[in-house]
A and B are shown apart, each in its own frame.
Chain A
Amino acid sequence: MTRLIPLLMLIGSALLAQDGSTKENWPEYGGQSSAWRYSALDQVDASNVAQLAAAWVFQTGDNDGGLQSTPLVLDGIMYVSTSHNRVFALDAVTGKRLWSYIYELPKTFTTFYGPWNRGVAVSDGRLVMGTLDNHVVALDAKTGRQLWKVNVEDANQCGCNITAAPLIAKGKVIVGVTGGDSAHRGYLNAFDIKTGRHLWRFWTIPGPGEKGHETWQGDSWKFGGGSTWMTGSFDATLGLIYWAVGNPAADFYGGNRKGDNLYTDSIVALDVETGKLKWHFQQVPHDVWDWDAAYEIVLVDLPRKVLINVSKGGYTYVLDRTNGEFITAWPVAKNINWIKGVGPKGELLGRNEPVVGKPKLICPSIGGGRSWNHGAWSPKAGLFFSTGIEWCQEVTAQPETPSEGKTFFGGTFKLVPTPDKKSGGHLGAYEPLTGKAVWKYEYKYPLLASVLATAGNLIFTGDAEGDFFALDARSGKKLWSFNTGSGHRGSSISYSVNGRQYIATPSGWGSAVAGLMQQFWPETEQFPNGSAVFVFALPEQKR
């Protein structure tokens, strides 16, 4: 019996281990709430992917800002959102439109953070979405009928809005906000999925009397940014949601916000029921480079319960997700000069800060050592797949006075080549605890689409020139590609209906970082916008 106990414990922990893989459905933004972006489907695999062919295409009709969404699929119905908060429900087998919804936007307002929407959430027959004018809206998932909407904060006042997909956990719609480059105080809100009633708010910048408030100088906390502009993750066993908080404002000038500026550039773990802070880990105290910690938080059991988060500054952080303890940090980009490295406790070594009135070479560029487009975790390969970007900039800081809801950058930048003149992008397969790259796929431009991993030993993503392609997860060898006519900035998924596996990808060039690329690669100004969902499958006789 004593021998059996360790065995039973092992089995027990395996049963308790988070399974973040998807199967028939792709029910949440990151696949599951652990954000693996990994499909356990293996009908399409490395041996037959060369036969993959288009099954159907859906044109959304709104090219402005491209298509940056992650489609969801539940029980044979695909839900996809586009720029300007349009939602389409499609038959996932044929692409036939079942219903569409066009959110009624005000006639005049400013969409400083762009017109795009990155996804919706569906649960209990309801579909929820954040809007360009900072509302949250719920629809009947069967019909598209609007059930409720609530104004989080007036967009004309805060200069902020919602572009990320909400996270649904325990009947709560948890939704972030943009506004990190404006004079705005960031937050995360939870609403009741049934009624839309507000349940809790977590301010990403503590107010007077709260712990952490002392890390802000004077009134700077009122305008300190700390946006929550992407989607968080949820560990149901621990009852914790994890969110990554963006940069402090002003981005490049910190002279009037002296201090660590909590909880900007931090991973926060919150009690899902109350929104109360359980722990935090700040990646960049007193950020003056615009290095959000905003991206996806991938929950993996190695078997230690860790989270993986790639930051905009180019480092991938691995933390213990039960208590926030720092485990390791490793780079996804070669050209990083804003620090010399990350120390054994997660401390930054050798800060290289912008200076007022004088251009300074900073690598990577403001677009990031990686952009927000998400990585993927494959439990089968035991590898984390992420893109990375090699590019630099000259930053000039300048003091700036905040004006509520208006832009608040504190400086300017200009993209410049990397010192080795090898600017461009890549996709790597990394060992999560060492950062060792098993392979790297190189590309002449930044890769700005998310990564999809499947149990068929495949990695899917798309590039700026419109190629959607599959790599062998074990070698990085390109096995298949299809040009969709417009570049890729969204997130591909996999699902199955009636036993047939499909691979779906948004196609549509656009976005802030795609715009930035024009400074460095002028020809990309001519890359066509688009907004379509392309769906692929093996020919019927091949499967």
Chain B
Amino acid sequence: MKLLIGVFLLHALLLADQAGTSLGTSAVVARGDKLFAQGCAVGYCHGSAGAAARSPRLRGRTFEKDYLVKVIRDGIPNTAMPAWGDRLTDEDINALVAYTQSLATATGDGPAPSETASLAPPVAVKDSDLTPDVRQGRELFYDPQRLQRCSNCHRVQGIGTPVSSDLTKLTRAQLAAEAVNALKYGRPRRVRSIVAKDGDRFPAVLIERGESETRIYDLKAVPPVQRNLPNSEIQSIQQQSGWRHSQAVQSYSSDELKSIWTFIRWAAERK
């Protein structure tokens, strides 16, 4: 009896394959199914086979191919939909598009046959393109395990707080300068010393001086705090702060600073 059922199922599968799709398409959809289960059905996202969860239901819905490619690759800003372009190949994205489209007419738990998806447009550079030195420098620059890290005050490639200068805008001469010395002994001229009327004294970077309040970054603790200080609470703002860049890079060794410099140069050249 089991054998009979097995033969029947095989026959049904063959019929389905002949009826609507090529073997190649089935393979693409199957690949998409696997990717979907790993990255899209997970947790609170689109649910098993697109059955809905926190993110919208995909089963029984029709989407344009181009739209799906764009959304999977670039994400949807300010929503839970991330950009997958840096993690998936074009083939992966195509497979996901094919699978998602297959859900349009799906019933039950499995995907339904779908049209073949064409190749997605090319995708941006991948992580794997980085040299080990650049990769290590980048990890150190943003290192989440350190409370004191470069990205507390420098924003590079869209990550970090822009308290200080954009390091990717350094001149060729500055980039050529000897790495560790520049990072260690630099004396940022923008850092002032603020004396508040309550006696609090702290290093700060001025953002904007308004008529009634002054916007600053308070550097007394990390991470820096953006504060809107009423001018009435400020006793004085002094040019010299005594603050040194060496304070900010204490958590890094000289070798680590070298890697970080390699990363900065790489990021500057890419810009």
Contact = CB atoms under 8 A, between A and B. Distances in A.
Contacts of A511: 54
A153 interface: yes
B147 A201 contact: yes
Interface stretch (B12-20, B22-30, B76-84, B115-123): B76-84
Contact of A406 (B53, B87, B224): B87
Interface stretch (B154-162, B252-260, B261-269): B154-162
B42 interface: yes
Interface residues of A, number: 55
Contact of B38 (A115, A400, A519): A400
A156 B161 contact: no
A181 B43 contact: yes
Contacts of A409: 42-43
Contact of B53 (A151, A184, A201, A519): A519
A198 interface: yes
Contacts of A185: 144-145
Given A147-B227, A197-B225, A515-B53, A158 B144 contact: yes
B218 to A, nearest CB: 6
B218 A195 contact: yes
A222 B145 contact: yes
A175 to B, nearest CB: 13
B142 A154 contact: yes
A407 B39 contact: yes
B43 A251 contact: yes
Contacts of B223: 150-152, 198
B52 A518 contact: yes
B44 A197 contact: no
A111 B79 contact: yes
Given A153-B144, A512-B54, A195 B47 contact: no
A157 interface: yes
Contacts of B82: 110, 112, 406-407
A114 interface: yes
A113 interface: yes
B77 A109 contact: yes
B228 A114 contact: no
Contacts of A412: 37, 41-42, 48
The interface size bin for chain B is: 35 or more
A10 interface: no
B3 interface: no
Given A148-B227, A512-B44, A518-B52, A113 B80 contact: yes
Interface string A222-253: 10000000000000000000000000000100
Interface in B61-95: 75, 77-83, 87
A198 B144 contact: no
Contacts of A152: 223
A515 B222 CA distance: 38
B48 A207 contact: no
B220 interface: yes
B57 interface: yes
Contacts of B200: 195
Nearest to B155: A154
Contacts of A251: 43
A302 to B, nearest CB: 36
Contact of A195 (B145, B159, B227): B227
Given A109-B78, A414-B47, A515-B54, A197 B221 contact: yes
Interface string A138-165: 0000000111111111101110000000
Contact of A515 (B48, B55, B228): B55
B225 A196 contact: yes
B54 A516 contact: yes
A198 B220 CA distance: 9
Given A156-B159, A207-B145, A414-B48, A110 B222 contact: no
Nearest to A160: B144
Interface string A385-408: 000000000000010100110110
Interface of A: 105, 107-115, 145-154, 156-158, 181, 184-185, 195-199, 201, 207, 222, 251, 290, 366, 398, 400, 403-404, 406-407, 409, 411-414, 511-512, 515-516, 518-519, 525
24 contacts: A108-B78, A109-B77, A110-B75, A110-B83, A114-B80, A149-B225, A150-B223, A153-B144, A156-B158, A156-B159, A157-B142, A185-B145, A196-B226, A197-B221, A406-B82, A411-B42, A412-B42, A414-B51, A511-B54, A512-B44, A512-B54, A515-B52, A518-B52, A525-B57
Interface of B: 37-39, 41-45, 47-49, 51-55, 57, 75, 77-83, 87, 109, 142, 144-145, 147, 151, 158-161, 200, 218, 220-228
Nearest 8 pairs of A and B residues by beta carbon: A196-B225, A108-B77, A414-B48, A409-B42, A512-B54, A197-B221, A518-B52, A515-B54
